[in-house]
Structure 1
Amino acid sequence: MADTTRTPQQTAEHVRDGMFANDNASKGLGMRIVEVGPGQATLEMRVRPDMLNGHAICHGGFMATLADSSFAFACNSYNELTVASGFSIDFIAPAREGDVLTARCFEVSKAGRTGVYDTEITNQRGERVAMFRGRSYTAKGRPAVAA
């Protein structure tokens, strides 16, 4: 059921606040929400020493988690409970300790209960380090966060 008491932007911000309050995974990795809007979200995360793999570069799982979190805030921004049904990620360049990674997610398609979202991850120099595509499934009639 659509939220008719708020503008689409206000709804996205309401969902951001409600979801992030309970998002221990994103908070535990030091993620910060930079921006949200209908069908879009931008998050940042600094690469810490405990995120490095055996090659002294950011473990791909942490980059996927950053993109997945951005995807979650984007696809839930309408306040309809939405979950990932799958994703793929392509790593383009390494991220190193101290890099600030930015994941910008935007809606590509939303039809019925399914959606497609693309997320670009860049470093603090604006260099692309990964591309992520998420597929979502919406449980109609259930809010992502309480009114």
Structure 2
Amino acid sequence: MKLPILAYLQSMINKSLLPEINTHLQYPTAIATTLGMEVIEIGPGRATISIETSKELHANQQGTIHGGLISELADAAIGTAHSTFIERGESFTTIELKINFYRPVFSGSLKAKAYPLHKGKNVSHYLCEVKNAEDKTVAMATSTVMTLRGEMAVGR
């Protein structure tokens, strides 16, 4: 049985998914599984993704959590938020991702909350705030996402 993305992700969060239930996109994503990211909140156009970071797995040469990991966390939250609008036969791609970093992270829990600033038919713009365990802003990302349909969505 195939569910719409939003219903599938809600079931995934509630741990009520049955083996025969799936959706037209891949969740959890391979990169989320590899990095240990988890969808913890979902709604129409909104998503919160969390990750538990450590110096042993995620640090750069300065001993802080790598900015690329924080960027991936924000991108995952934005992509998950946008996927709640995606119908069967559609796909999407990031056109642009910009991130500003405000404070270092040495380890611990991070949460990325994404929501649309503008939801367009083809192009949408998102904001994502990444916070640490103390609820302090670590980074802010904006992203432009394009919805693909028809031949453009094939094979994606």
Taking structure 1 as the reference length, the TM-score comes to: 0.83
- Percent identity reads 25
Alignment of 1:93-132 (within 5 A): 93-97=103-107, 99-132=108-141
Determine the structure 2 residue equivalent to 1:26. Answer: 32
Unaligned runs of at least 5 residues, structure 1: 1-5
5+ residue gaps, structure 2, are: 13-22
Corresponding residue of 2:102: 92
Asked whether 1:68 is paired with 2:75, we answer yes
8 Å Cα contact 1:15-1:76 kept in structure 2:
no
**Native 8 Å contact 1:13 1:37 kept in 2:** no
1:53 aligns with 2:63: no
CA deviations over 1:32-55 (Å, ceiling 9, x no partner) = 110111111000001122210111
- Structure scoring higher RCO (CA < 8 A, sep ≥ 6) equals 1
RMSD: 2.2
Separation in 2 of the partners of 1:77 and 1:123?
25
Question: Which residue of 7, 29, 41 corresponds with 1:13?
Answer: 7
Q: CA deviation at 1:13?
A: 3.0
Q: Supply the distance in 2 between the matched residues of 1:124 and 1:94 (Cα, whole angstroms).
A: 13
CA displacement, residues 53-81 of structure 1 (integer Å, 9 cap, x when unaligned): 11110000000000000011001111242
1-structure distance, mates of 2:50, 2:97: 19
TM-score (norm 2): 0.78
Q: How far, CA to CA, are the matches of 1:107 and 1:127 in structure 2?
A: 21
